Chains A and B, each alone.
Chain A
Amino acid sequence: MIEIRFHGRGGQGSVTCAELLALAAIGEGKYAQAFPSFGPERRGAPVVAFCRISDQPIRIRANIYEPDIVVVLDPTLLKIVNVAAGLKPNGMVVTTSKDSPEVVKEALGINNRVAVVDAIKIAMEVLGVPITNTSMLGSLTRASNLVRKESFIPPLKERFGRIAEKNMAAFERAYQETVLIQ
């Protein structure tokens, strides 16, 4: 079982990010679960969402404390939230940042793999809004191979309708521009 924790700000689509990942995995015949850290929704406030993916039925209905992967949807969170809290020794951080993965890795003070993409820039250029969820899914997919790229097409179409094409473009560009270091 792979456990993924998403850190974002209210309104950036962290919950949608977790949900789309679960839907893509379920579409491949895997088992998956996605849920928000249930609370009053506040735009701009730090929020967390969770996703589990497994080849076996998933039985745990509790928050994720020791994630395999942490995905960060907003660069400012790297300084104010301990996003790597509980991260497994062989785990990975996938984040949006203007900085290089080396700089992010040092700033976080971790020995884990780090993948970086400037998702804010991509989202602004492709979508026209700083909503990074689909870009970060592209980055996560490049860095992790958790699910196949094409498995995102049905859930993205279903969720975004007429703006699905743009979101798929943001996904693809982030997929291409992601830089991963060990």
Chain B
Amino acid sequence: MGKRVGMEVSIAAAEAVKQANVDVISAYPITPQTHVVEHLSELVANGELDAEFFCVESEHSALSVCVGSEATGARSFTCTSSQGLALMSEITYIASALRLPIVMIIANRALSAPISIWNDHSDVMSIRDCGWIQFFAENGQDVYDHVFIAYRLAEDRNVLLPAIINMDGFTLSHVIEPIEFIEQEKIDRFLPPYQPVHRLHPDRPVSMGGIALPPIFTETKKAHEVALQGSMPKILETWKAFGDMTGRYYQPVETYKAEDAETIMVIMGSFGETASAAVDLMREEGRSVGLAKIRLWRPFPFEAFKQATLHAKQLVVIDRAISIGGPGGPVASEVKAALYGEPIRPVVYNFVAGLGGRDVSPSDFIKMVDKAEIEIEEGNREGYEIYGVRE
């Protein structure tokens, strides 16, 4: 077993990037991502990590550098938040379509305006369809572990896609907690050096990212879709291999006391642990409540989600982002799409909560379940509301 160390999650994330032996780091500072790249710049400056650290002038350039470096076969990393991701968004689509296995941590933060440095999932939802593999972390250990998982998976010849690790800003990024480190020899075995299939090299010219005329563009998108959907078996295989190494087995959808539950809360990210504490409180009162945590956002795990939730009477989906003018939160939309084809399916009640850093405590989760059960009982089968609005 590795060493257990008390550490800020951002620092642990940076240490994982070091242990993953990246070649290139390119980033522009933005709260609450800052501590990750600050620590990486120290590691490079101290000579503890043999990598190029590019201080660029914007996030657009941060990812553009990674596109270039990854295309030459250099293992590349970036990290951003909020407005930074918004500025970077153009390049996210290019990185994935060029099949470049970059890994990015997003310290999730609200999008302006008004300015908020605090956590929600609006930033990553703005690039929902960018074609990257997307994980959500529940705690600091998840963030640390997924750096290795993400690189091994992304660089697999049958995958070759970039991957995002979503780490809730402040709520995870700035918390000190115990992290179990993995020995370097184990990591080196789990994550061998990157062997690119094609790479930019002056002696062997290739063209990447050329123009696609209408007769071929659709086919490139189909290829990308097949690649992302087809990455699921590799994701499961990589998690299995990681679990065999560490004892920590991850799943696309993880449940807590959901097997026999009539009501299941559905969440993503750091809501998970607090919601599980709320489940325990409700179970103590004899209530039939459980929890489903979506760890894998893209490719969306439709089958695993149905297996975890189809038996429930009702799902209380708690989103941390809002689709303004749409049908509610983005997770609830996906959940409804996943269940639509089922002849018998749970009723879905949707809350949007925790926007812009609003604290969500165990009692808030209980209040949401209370409200949803009453509304559904009264016949409101398409409920959607923003929780805790001060009026």
Q: Is the CB of B175 within 8 A of A61?
A: yes
The answer for the CA separation of A26 and B274 in the assembled complex, in Å, is 20
For residue A81, give the distance in angstroms from its CB to the closest CB of chain B.
18
The answer for the CA separation of A60 and B276 in the assembled complex, in Å, is 9
> Which of A6-14, A34-42, A99-107, A128-136 lies at the binding interface?
A34-42
Chain A residues within 8 Å of chain B by Cβ, number: 24
Q: Is the CB of A35 within 8 A of B6?
A: no
Say which size band chain B's interface belongs to.
20 to 34
Point out which of B171, B177, B271 has the most chain A C-beta atoms below 10 A from its C-beta: B177
Question: For chain B residues 161-219, which have a beta carbon within 8 Å of chain A?
Answer: 170-172, 174-178
Kindly identify which residue among B5, B170, B273, B361 contacts A65, using a CB–CB cutoff of 8 Å. Answer: B361
Cβ-based interface call for A43 (8 A): no
Cβ-based interface call for B277 (8 A): yes
For residue A39, give the distance in angstroms from its CB to the closest CB of chain B.
8
Q: Which residues of A contact B5 (CB under 8 A)?
A: 26
The answer for the CA separation of A19 and B360 in the assembled complex, in Å, is 22
Cβ-based interface call for B270 (8 A): yes
Cβ-based interface call for B68 (8 A): no
For residue B358, give the distance in angstroms from its CB to the closest CB of chain A.
10
The answer for the CA separation of A79 and B381 in the assembled complex, in Å, is 50
Kindly identify which residue among B32, B174, B178, B359 contacts A62, using a CB–CB cutoff of 8 Å. Answer: B359
Q: Is the CB of A35 within 8 A of B176?
A: yes
Q: Is the CB of B273 within 8 A of A61?
A: yes
Kindly identify which residue among A18, A32, A63 contacts B361, using a CB–CB cutoff of 8 Å. Answer: A63
Question: For chain A residues 6-56, which have a beta carbon within 8 Å of chain B?
Answer: 18-19, 22-23, 25-27, 29, 31-36, 38, 40
CB nearest neighbor in A for B280: A59
A26-B6, A59-B274, A61-B273 known; A31 vs B359 contact (CB < 8 Å): no
For residue A98, give the distance in angstroms from its CB to the closest CB of chain B.
32
Q: Give the secondary structure class of B's interface.
A: mixed
Cβ-based interface call for B357 (8 A): yes
Cβ-based interface call for B118 (8 A): yes
For residue B74, give the distance in angstroms from its CB to the closest CB of chain A.
33
Q: Is the CB of B170 within 8 A of A38?
A: yes
Q: Which residues of A contact B277 (CB under 8 A)?
A: 59-60
Kindly identify which residue among A22, A23, A38, A63 contacts B174, using a CB–CB cutoff of 8 Å. Answer: A38
A26-B6, A27-B6 known; A60 vs B362 contact (CB < 8 Å): yes
Q: Is the CB of A62 within 8 A of B361?
A: yes
The answer for the CA separation of A181 and B4 in the assembled complex, in Å, is 37
Q: Which residues of A contact B118 (CB under 8 A)?
A: 38
The answer for the CA separation of A59 and B171 in the assembled complex, in Å, is 12
Q: Which residues of A contact B271 (CB under 8 A)?
A: 61
Q: Is the CB of A22 within 8 A of B274?
A: no
Q: Which residues of A contact B117 (CB under 8 A)?
A: 38, 40
Q: Is the CB of A61 within 8 A of B6?
A: no
Kindly identify which residue among B4, B273, B359 contacts A63, using a CB–CB cutoff of 8 Å. Answer: B359
CB nearest neighbor in A for B170: A38
A sample of 13 cross-chain residue pairs with beta-carbon separation below 8 angstroms, ordered by A number, consists of A25-B6, A26-B177, A32-B6, A33-B177, A35-B174, A36-B174, A38-B174, A40-B117, A58-B177, A58-B273, A59-B273, A61-B175, A62-B361
Interfacial residues, chain B to chain A (CB-CB below 8 A): 4-6, 8, 32, 117-118, 170-172, 174-178, 270-271, 273-274, 276-277, 357, 359-362, 364
Nearest 7 CB-CB pairings of A with B: A26-B6, A59-B273, A62-B361, A38-B170, A34-B176, A23-B6, A35-B175
